[in-house]
Amino acid sequence: MEVLLMDNFLKSNEMVNYPSAIEVFEQALAGFRANDPLPWITLLDDDALLELPFNPPGQPKRLSGKKAILSYFESLPASIDFESFSEVFIHSLDDRDWVVAELTAKGTIQASGKTYDNRYVIVMNTSEGQIRLQRDYFNPLTAIDS
């Protein structure tokens, strides 16, 4: 039993040379702040899961795999030109591969020219610097109504 405990201690204190979930989130957010989703896309693991629990009926609530995630966003009728991300609160967790973030995104819907203003809570899990799970809680009706 003591050996197992020592092994767990050593594993939990090993030096890791990949970004934490906080660092991954910050890289992705920096891209979105520049209206460039490419950093987020490159951070997605090939088997990543994107969960959108509050998507309206007829829209997927879970997308599995990088290709499916990209296909979904390419199929959306309206893109958003983000102008600001404010009230960003990043909550670290005991496990460096998890992060919870809150933020407000503001911008303009390209198709309509209407204002977009939405609050997000994002739960992210990473592995070796890649996004394995991203769960976005937001009001999708804000985009639909814009």
For the chain, what are the domain ranges? 15-145
Nearest to residue 82, comparing CAs of 106, 115, 59?
A: 106
pLDDT of residue 1: 44
pLDDT of residue 37: 86
pLDDT of residue 89: 98
pLDDT of residue 10: 46
pLDDT of residue 35: 86
Amino acid at 51: E
What pTM did the predictor assign? 0.84
pLDDT of residue 57: 86
pLDDT of residue 77: 66
**Cα-based distances in Å from 30 to 23, 25, 35, 62, 82:** 11, 9, 9, 24, 12
- Per-residue pLDDT of the chain (146 residues), as tens digits, is 444 544 454 455 566 799 999 999 999 999 999 988 889 999 999 999 999 999 888 889 999 999 999 998 888 766 888 999 999 999 999 999 999 999 999 999 888 899 999 999 999 999 999 999 999 999 988 766 65
b/e code 41-78 from CB counts within 10 Å (16+ = b) = eebbbeebbbbbeebeeeeeeebeebeebeeeeeeeee
CATH code linked to domain 15-145: 3.10.450.50
**Cα-based distances in Å from 58 to 50, 52, 62, 70, 126:** 16, 12, 12, 18, 28
